Structure 1
Amino acid sequence: MRMTLPAWPRPLPREARDTLFLLAVLGWILAMQVPQIPLWCGTMALGVLLWRAWIALRGGALPGVLWRWALVTGATLGTLASHQTLFGHEAGVTLIVVLLALKTLELRARRDAFVVFFLGFFTLLTHFFHSQSLLTALGVLVAFLGLLTALVLAHMPVGRPSVGQAARLAGGMALLGTPIMLVLFLFFPRFAPLWGIPTDSGFGRSGLSGEMQVGQIARLALDDSIAFRVEFLDGQRPAQDQLYFRGPVMSVFDGVQWRPQARLAALAPAPQLAITHPEQAIRYRLTMEPSNRPWVLTLEATPELPPVAGQAARLSPEREWTVTRPLTDLTRFEAVAYPHFRDGPPQRDMSLLPDLELPAGFNPRTLQWAQDLRREFHHSTDARRYIDAVLQHLRTGGYTYTLEPGLYGRHSADEFWFDRREGFCEHIASSFVVLMRALDIPARVVTGYHGGELNPIDGVWTVRQSDAHAWAEVWLPEQGWTRIDPTAYVAPARTESLSRLRPPPGVLANAMLTLHPDLLWRVRAVWEAANNRWNQWVLNYTASRQLDMLRQLGFRAPNWTDLVQVMVGALVLLGLLGAGWMAWSRGRQDPWLQLLRQAHRRLQRSGLELPAQHATPRQMAAWIERHLPSTPAAAQWRDWLLALEAQRYDPITPTRLTDLRRQWRRLPALPRQTPPSPAQPSALH
């Protein structure tokens, strides 16, 4: 019994192939929006694209007008239900995504395809509402080239041009437009971008919060995303154990949560900050990722800040820098830090009372321990004796630094000191501050980031959300507020060598670590260095940097009119260069026509008088068959010309143009034909 294998399916008709390619590009565009759109929107858009692909494969009819109206109505109602409005960029993005998918259900003529193209290009811009990262830009670039390729295919209605040929043409067009894009990027007056507006919702990205509950920062340790990057200028940087970046300061404790002290901004006193060694200043540049929070993270201690994201920064009495509006965009500033300083009143006064308060009914064993310590030291007023005793107890008392200490109850300090003896940095700092206050020592909790890692590619320190940290500050007579990190006495490696607790790696990361221990780290270092360059050169190319560039070009006091003049001049120059190039390369755009003209000229050089200057391949093959003897060379020329015709017009089995060009170079020379003299009639008649 003979087994017959199924035949390979015949190539798709060109219309179906081009439709499927366009749907694949639209699927890529919509897939990039999935994290930002409601679940129903992504599901509906995917279902519509799959439905349209099935119609293209089967050659079926498109759905009727009732189906389309029902889907549009459902999409509108779904947007209203998800966002309670049809206005605003979040609702607008949801609606445009689903309408882009629905428009493919009436993709009949070229006019419909052009509408889909323009909607696709517009949808590409909406990706920058949510992220302007290098990864997003690369994804948008891939989608842009795909849409441009589909647009080129739509403008090549004759024959069956390959997708690769259209992609090369689209890539060439994109390269030709690159100089104009660069001129507009460099010299077009910089205004706030449309995607730089604040988000509609108050959703905050991962990061430090305005309140600290025991166990909260431990959850941040599972987030390996970047919080900010730091470049230390002038070749100076603090020691590793001094890399503390200050965030929210917590002074009010209700037994469960720590909160900042509430003050009216206009009535808040200025911080009592005195720089003790100004010669040891450290100049640094900090680039914060969007946080949707008002805090500006600074290296301790930074007494002055330039405007941040166009806002004047305010320094609170607790040395906490804030701005009025949340930081929703990449933020970059330069500042100077002074590691040696003194802050706070030299003697105890009324301003320290909030830093001594404890809620009633919480942590009775910790309060009793404080009383026992006071009796042990005969009610000494030397705060340093109590602090050293507690830190020594932390060092030798069997305490453990861990990401998973378990769930703490009502008396969190009691549980840490006497029961669990394990916790993350906020457990340790909170318990330490509670004990200090019980000993009548003013103390508060400071949250922020500590440490980071040096990227060997670009020399930039990268601080991640997993570097979030909490430490304590105590007030000492004549010294003011003094930083004490009790975590350093439980886990010295956390502050000295900057080793952080990490969650177990995933399956892919485990495999990479097994194959090459340094591979994952090196790949991440290269990617983050590239991303940092993108941030510095593209996202942080501001109006001030534009004017600096004009100063380098020789303008003494540049303004926006100079920018416009330089931009217009550069565009005119590029236009003239482009016009000259077009005039030089006129008639050389279509490689198929170019190959046909080369064949025409070669046949003419052999003495063959063709019927017309613009003869088709089939006409030329027929002329050879009628006027040349039947030789192998003539047969090869006829076959090649018919294959050239099939490459342009046969939708089933075309030959690649590169193969035809290679065959043309190997075609044999035809016998040279001598034109008949007037006295002797031609043998062809």
Structure 2
Amino acid sequence: MNLRQTLDCLPRDARDTLWLLFVIAWVIAPQAGILPLWAGLLAAGLLLWRGWLAWTGRPLPGRWTVGALLVLAAVGALFTYRTILGRDAGVTLIVVLLALKMLELRARRDALVVFFLGFFTMLSNFFFSQSLSTAAAMLVALLGLLTALVNAHMPVGRPPLMQAFRIAGAMALLGAPIMAALFMLFPRMAPLWGVPGDTMAGRSGLSGVLKVGNIAELALDDSVALRVRFDDLAAPPQSELYFRGPVFGSFDGVEWHALTYRGAPPSGAAANLRVHGAPVRYEVTLEPHQQPWLLLLDAAVDKPVLAGMESSMTQDLQWLANRPITDMLRYRAQSYTGFTYGPDTLTASLRAYTELPAGFNPRTWALARQMRSELQTAPGSTRDSAWALVQAALTRLRTGGYVYTLEPGVYGLHGADEFWFDRRQGFCEHIAAAFVVLMRALEIPARIVTGYQGGDRNPVDGFWTVRQSDAHAWAEVWIAGRGWVRVDPTSAVSPGRTGAFERLRTPRGAFATAVDTVISPGLVHSLRAVWEAANNRWNQWVLNYTQSRQLDLLKALGFASPDWQDLTMVLGILVAAAALGAMAWSLCERNRQDPWLRLLARTRQRLAHAGLALPETLPPRAIAQQVRDRFGARSAALADWLLRLERLRYAPRAETGLHQLRREFRRLPWPAAPKS
């Protein structure tokens, strides 16, 4: 006997319970990586236990057992989160409560509670992710829950699930226009619209502290960091796509930190930014990274156009928002790839960029003395030729056998010494850090800049995708008369990293290699481009559908200066129109159906609820006889009412009208539903 035949042999209650368990497991599954391990295992164990009870027909556990499990879940949540309030603790408890309620599924009211908790748990998935894949999974969950809900309201016989699914699908399609209107016109009013995250951690990305090796870990992450759409058809060359992030000017021997400023916070005016050439105009869709910095191309003079946020530029040319980026953010900006900035002459503040901790990297110090001595003895050189020293260091990187790699090994306390003399290999941050240490040993102001470099253009929608694996570190050196100058020492070791934009790839496993032999890599790349274009459309048109875009919609409808009150008015008009349309359609359907047949159908429904299922072809007289046989003398009034209903249909001069029979229908002593 196969699985289908086995399911057909199960009682209807068991079959319906197994279907509901499958739907609940689908609803909970996306949160498996978010829930604490104990909560995920507990929920899975409870659902499996309930499925085994339904399959074998065994009785449900007692209330004491369920109560003890509930107390354990509450204690576990309190121990894990130190509270039972908030997003994470609340979702954990909801998931466990949903699984526990399945152990109390004895009557219809218990099923209704399960449906309510299931819909709420489905909604809670969007607290953690609003991606296109999550939305697609929850659409399937919605249809599954609606199917179970419709099936629960079909008490007679063993209706196939496909019948309930068709009804649920029709309900979802009928409700889709209203939901679309609510989405487009319901006013976005914080904090009611959107749920901020409870934690500032969790997303990979650039860090506020640079420890050599961190960016190499990002190179293994292929998730999207930001998407860019350039206004012009031709984007800047990939070698000029430097998206600026944190700038590090303080080194303690192990970690690099942002240089702290005394007094007033740094401002863009102090940067002395001078730009030349044509500007590059573009739009950025930034993924949430839980930090306040904005990622812009070097260098932006004007503030990016943000919705509901303020921004400012430091004298390091880094743009910061007034709060961390916890949700997807879209902004427009204008940058110049040709620029100079910083003081033209040496100032006291620049001395901080030549400081190095004592006792670290002695061989690098010796190399700096050697390079300066060689420069002094070279023909035509000057003692203060800082740019010549920079070029000498880059020449050493090009010709010294240095290697650009993701796996340089673990560096020790004297990281610059190991890079220049021992290992001679590293990722971009190893190369940039060693280069900056050498520059400072040469008494040239230098610092490390982190961000993203390059990107891939999606041929489907034309957007440039910048991934976490595009994270990069480069250097800036200060040259008299020129200010701060970008120097990318990684380009000296591996020119393809910034020129032809050749990323380092991790070694492929046996499974990935086997897949490549079955599916063409070109096909995989094309499918990925299509998926990312669809995901980008979802981000642009759904996740980034802000209040400003709502107001733009009203302007297109003819409103001069719309506000949220206009949104509410238009939404109310549409909802009222939809309600009136539904009412008119319902009245039309009622008039198209014979009212006598409709009343007889309601009678059969009431009797089915009382446990007496009757075929639709049975006339009122035969129904009256069935009622007498099943319920006895206490059903005499109902049997008499059925006979008068029949006389109304077939007697030429019936003494009772349909309107009176409808009134009596509501007052009849109907038999009670059987106890489950």
Q: Does TM, normalized by the shorter one, top 0.5?
A: yes
Residues 95 and 8 (structure 1), Cα distance of their counterparts in 2 relative to 1, 3 Å cut: closer
SS at match of 2:302: coil
For residues 194 and 491 of structure 1, the distance between their equivalents in structure 2, rounded to whole angstroms, comes to 50
SS at match of 2:9: coil
For residues 7 and 476 of structure 1, the distance between their equivalents in structure 2, rounded to whole angstroms, comes to 78
The Cα offsets for residues 1-52 of structure 1, whole Å up to 9 and x where unpaired, read as xxx9999645211111111101100011111111111000010011111111
Match of 1:345 among 327, 343, 346: 343
5+ residue gaps, structure 1, are 598-613, 624-685
Q: Give the aligned partner of residue 485 of structure 1.
A: 488
1:276 aligns with 2:275: yes
Q: Give the aligned partner of residue 535 of structure 2.
A: 531
Residues 506 and 197 (structure 1), Cα distance of their counterparts in 2 relative to 1, 3 Å cut: farther
Q: Give the aligned partner of residue 573 of structure 1.
A: 577
Greater alpha carbon shift after TM alignment, 132-141 vs 268-277 = 268-277
Amino acid at match of 1:221: A
Match of 2:411 among 404, 408, 411: 408
**For 1:492-507, what aligned pairs fall within 5 Å after superposition?**
492-507=495-510
Amino acid at match of 1:274: L
For residues 279 and 121 of structure 2, the distance between their equivalents in structure 1, rounded to whole angstroms, comes to 48
Q: Give the aligned partner of residue 254 of structure 1.
A: 252
Q: Give the aligned partner of residue 145 of structure 1.
A: 143
**For 1:235-384, what aligned pairs fall within 5 Å after superposition?**
235-263=233-261, 266-269=264-267, 270-278=269-277, 280-306=278-304, 308=306, 310-378=308-376, 380-384=383-387
Q: Give the aligned partner of residue 55 of structure 1.
A: 53
CA contact (8 A) 2:306 2:332 kept: no
Q: What is the aligned-residue identity percentage? A: 55
Residues 390 and 464 (structure 1), Cα distance of their counterparts in 2 relative to 1, 3 Å cut: same
Q: Give the aligned partner of residue 82 of structure 1.
A: 80
1:324: Cα distance to partner? 3.2
Amino acid at match of 1:276: V
The Cα offsets for residues 331-361 of structure 1, whole Å up to 9 and x where unpaired, read as 1100100111110001111121111101100
Residues 49 and 204 (structure 1), Cα distance of their counterparts in 2 relative to 1, 3 Å cut: closer
SS at match of 1:36: coil
Match of 1:443 among 434, 443, 446: 446
Amino acid at match of 1:230: V
For residues 299 and 339 of structure 1, the distance between their equivalents in structure 2, rounded to whole angstroms, comes to 8
Amino acid at match of 1:143: A
1:420 aligns with 2:419: no
For residues 337 and 200 of structure 2, the distance between their equivalents in structure 1, rounded to whole angstroms, comes to 35
Amino acid at match of 2:571: M
Q: Give the aligned partner of residue 664 of structure 2.
A: none
CA RMSD of aligned residues (A): 2.5
**For 1:634-673, what aligned pairs fall within 5 Å after superposition?**
none
SS at match of 1:234: coil
Residues 370 and 171 (structure 1), Cα distance of their counterparts in 2 relative to 1, 3 Å cut: same
**For 1:159-238, what aligned pairs fall within 5 Å after superposition?**
159-192=157-190, 196-238=194-236
**For 1:580-595, what aligned pairs fall within 5 Å after superposition?**
580-586=584-590
1:205: Cα distance to partner? 1.1
**For 1:388-403, what aligned pairs fall within 5 Å after superposition?**
388-403=391-406
Q: Give the aligned partner of residue 39 of structure 1.
A: 37
1:504: Cα distance to partner? 2.6
Residues 412 and 53 (structure 1), Cα distance of their counterparts in 2 relative to 1, 3 Å cut: same
Residues 326 and 174 (structure 1), Cα distance of their counterparts in 2 relative to 1, 3 Å cut: same
Q: Give the aligned partner of residue 625 of structure 2.
A: none
1:619: Cα distance to partner? 5.3
1:573: Cα distance to partner? 1.9
1:523: Cα distance to partner? 1.4
1:232: Cα distance to partner? 0.5
1:508: Cα distance to partner? 5.0
Match of 1:432 among 429, 435, 439: 435
Residues 506 and 25 (structure 1), Cα distance of their counterparts in 2 relative to 1, 3 Å cut: farther
Residues 26 and 265 (structure 1), Cα distance of their counterparts in 2 relative to 1, 3 Å cut: farther
SS at match of 2:299: coil
Residues 66 and 548 (structure 1), Cα distance of their counterparts in 2 relative to 1, 3 Å cut: same
Amino acid at match of 1:413: A
Greater alpha carbon shift after TM alignment, 283-292 vs 268-277 = 268-277
1:465 aligns with 2:468: yes
1:617: Cα distance to partner? 6.2
TM-score (normalizing by structure 1): 0.84
1:307: Cα distance to partner? 5.7
For residues 299 and 19 of structure 1, the distance between their equivalents in structure 2, rounded to whole angstroms, comes to 56
Match of 1:544 among 545, 548, 555: 548
CA contact (8 A) 1:251 1:444 kept: yes
Greater alpha carbon shift after TM alignment, 418-427 vs 286-295 = 286-295
For residues 532 and 39 of structure 1, the distance between their equivalents in structure 2, rounded to whole angstroms, comes to 32
SS at match of 1:358: coil
For residues 619 and 420 of structure 1, the distance between their equivalents in structure 2, rounded to whole angstroms, comes to 92
Residues 466 and 5 (structure 1), Cα distance of their counterparts in 2 relative to 1, 3 Å cut: closer
Residues 133 and 617 (structure 1), Cα distance of their counterparts in 2 relative to 1, 3 Å cut: closer
For residues 124 and 408 of structure 2, the distance between their equivalents in structure 1, rounded to whole angstroms, comes to 43
CA contact (8 A) 1:189 1:564 kept: yes
Q: Give the aligned partner of residue 524 of structure 2.
A: 520
1:310: Cα distance to partner? 2.5
SS at match of 1:384: helix
Match of 1:91 among 66, 84, 89: 89
SS at match of 1:385: helix
CA contact (8 A) 1:453 1:462 kept: yes
1:507: Cα distance to partner? 5.0
For residues 234 and 7 of structure 1, the distance between their equivalents in structure 2, rounded to whole angstroms, comes to 59
CA contact (8 A) 2:305 2:332 kept: no
TM-score (normalizing by structure 2): 0.85
Residues 226 and 56 (structure 1), Cα distance of their counterparts in 2 relative to 1, 3 Å cut: same
Q: Give the aligned partner of residue 610 of structure 1.
A: none
For residues 405 and 615 of structure 1, the distance between their equivalents in structure 2, rounded to whole angstroms, comes to 79
Q: Give the aligned partner of residue 11 of structure 1.
A: 9
Q: Give the aligned partner of residue 673 of structure 1.
A: none
1:305: Cα distance to partner? 2.3
For residues 322 and 287 of structure 1, the distance between their equivalents in structure 2, rounded to whole angstroms, comes to 16
1:506: Cα distance to partner? 4.7
Equivalenced residue count is 598
CA contact (8 A) 1:129 1:195 kept: no
Amino acid at match of 2:108: R
SS at match of 2:244: strand
CA contact (8 A) 1:429 1:472 kept: yes
Residues 467 and 265 (structure 1), Cα distance of their counterparts in 2 relative to 1, 3 Å cut: farther
SS at match of 2:449: strand
CA contact (8 A) 1:236 1:283 kept: no
For residues 576 and 512 of structure 2, the distance between their equivalents in structure 1, rounded to whole angstroms, comes to 52
SS at match of 1:427: helix
